[in-house]
Structure 1
Amino acid sequence: MNAKPFITATLIGSMLLASTAFAAGGPRNGDGGGRSADTASSGDLTTIEVSDLQFMREEEKLARDVYLTMDQYWGDRTQVFAQIALSEESHTSTVDYLLNKFGVEDPVVNDTIGVFTNEELQALFDELVAKGKNSFVDGLFVGGLIEEKDMRDILAAINQTDERAIILAYSNLLDGSKSHLNAFVKVIEAQGLTYEAQVLDPEEVELILHDESQIED
């Protein structure tokens, strides 16, 4: 196993701090209180919206955790895992902010890398890490799979809510996943390989990879 790059060590050290900041409901208002005046209630959301938020919180954590783990193995070959892990930390914190805004219970009761409340995501983490540590290329394709799955799940969640704040946050996560997929594909192609869709339709992936309007998150 390779020595942990500085960027990964920095992220691991900051995870608890970031989680604490967002758990307070974002920036504090002028009276020193915790949540802002526009804090909503979980009663404002449907059961599906609540479930999606909780799933998305851990799915973004899964991406962060897998990439941090892959960086342990392949960090001497590329910075892509460490760099995207930083972005995923921001993503999972964004969803955490929404959980606090709407008063939804946070499923991340233990922010340790590789620990999940959702059994499906726990099994997926174990499966992806086992595959990704086999080779550098396997690790890159695991990254592509995660980003494609994220996009599929985010799009489904967007279609099941009419809350403006949630739609905006999900849209930002979607843009991030598009950029991340492009980043992984570039490294894969640099190995002389061709990337093929793993979760989304090939036509969708082709459009994403050739979308020149994307902005790095």
Structure 2
Amino acid sequence: MMEKLGISLLFAIAMLLTACGGGGSSTPVVTSPAATDPDPVVTVDADGNTSFDSTTLAAQLDAMALGELNQEETDGLLLMREEEKLARDVYLALYDIHGLNIFNNISSSEQTHTDAVLALLQRYSLTDPVGENATGVFANVDLQQLHDALVAQGTNSLLDALYVGAEIEELDIADIENLKLQLVDNDDIALVYDNLLKGSRNHLRSFYRQIESNGGTYTPTHITQAQFDDIVNSDMERG
């Protein structure tokens, strides 16, 4: 079990437990063909649901050099494996309670997110903390507390559930950005983290639109107001 968690995660647990309470030359110029960008490893639908394409991700990871992991990088991967599962599990619970499709749709995307992190764990021969754990069950006791608090908070009303969705996504953004700062020379991990960030930003946009349409307002707690405003006032990111 990890002994260290991101600052944002620890803050979230404390807050939620409290709340629950051309020149002229004639010589022809020879140019090489333009380099083509690799196929995107995520797909984005009309509602912003952002999912990893496992086949494309595997192909791109296979083409990358296998780096070395320090302890911070290892702990970060283990954290994100369960943190992405937490998002999926909370959304499944809230869909069962409120029946709003956004929770079901984004939970499906989150399954591909946690699977993408699993691909990195397998690539680096790390023991998967999820294993055979059921929905809502976590090896990390802090994530277990956070899951339970979030579900309890989101049970009260549909608007509270949407607030939970927004908080999970901004928490993911804050934690992944911090984990990216710890990377030394791991382009494969950066690839996954960058696309997890894209997904979290898109999902935050989706939840915020639902919050507005249900008459609510939202103040971020894990990212700055300026960062939040930049995200929710911009278009969905594609591919």
TM-score of the alignment, normalized to the shorter chain, above 0.5:
yes
After superposition, the Cα gap between the structure-2 partners of 1:139 and 1:40, relative to the gap in structure 1 and judged at 3 Å, is: same
SS of match in other structure, 1:112: coil
Give runs of aligned pairs for residues 1-217 of structure 1, distance below 5 A.
40=66, 44-75=68-99, 78-161=100-183, 162-212=185-235, 214-215=237-238
Encode CA deviations 1:32-77: one digit per residue, 9 max, x unaligned.
xxxx697847xx21011110000000000000000000000111xx
Shift of 1:110: 2.6
The 8 Å contact of residues 159 and 216 in structure 2, kept in 1 or not, is answered as no
Q: Which has the larger radius of gyration?
A: 2
SS of match in other structure, 2:175: helix
CA distance in 1, matches of 2:132, 2:161: 25
Encode CA deviations 1:167-186: one digit per residue, 9 max, x unaligned.
01000000000000010011
CA distance in 2, matches of 1:37, 1:91: 20
The answer for unaligned runs of 5 or more in structure 2 is 1-53
Shift of 1:199: 1.8
Whichever residue aligns with residue 132 of structure 2, its letter is N
Partner of 2:43: none
The 8 Å contact of residues 40 and 103 in structure 1, kept in 2 or not, is answered as no
Whichever residue aligns with residue 186 of structure 1, its letter is R
Shift of 1:213: 5.8
Encode CA deviations 1:115-161: one digit per residue, 9 max, x unaligned.
00111100000100111111111100000000000000000111111
CA distance in 2, matches of 1:37, 1:83: 31
Cα RMSD, aligned residues only = 2.1
Structure having greater relative contact order (Cα 8 Å, sep ≥ 6): 2
The 8 Å contact of residues 171 and 223 in structure 2, kept in 1 or not, is answered as yes
- Judge which range, 187-196 or 52-61, deviates more: 187-196
After superposition, the Cα gap between the structure-2 partners of 1:169 and 1:125, relative to the gap in structure 1 and judged at 3 Å, is: same
Whichever residue aligns with residue 222 of structure 2, its letter is V
Shift of 1:201: 1.0
Number of aligned pairs? 182
After TM superposition, the runs of 4+ consecutive aligned structure 1 residues lying more than 3 A away are 36-41
CA distance in 1, matches of 2:237, 2:106: 15
Partner of 1:30: none
After superposition, the Cα gap between the structure-2 partners of 1:136 and 1:49, relative to the gap in structure 1 and judged at 3 Å, is: same
Question: Taking every aligned residue pair, what percent have the same amino acid on both sides?
Answer: 40
Shift of 1:200: 1.1
The answer for unaligned runs of 5 or more in structure 1 is 1-21, 28-35
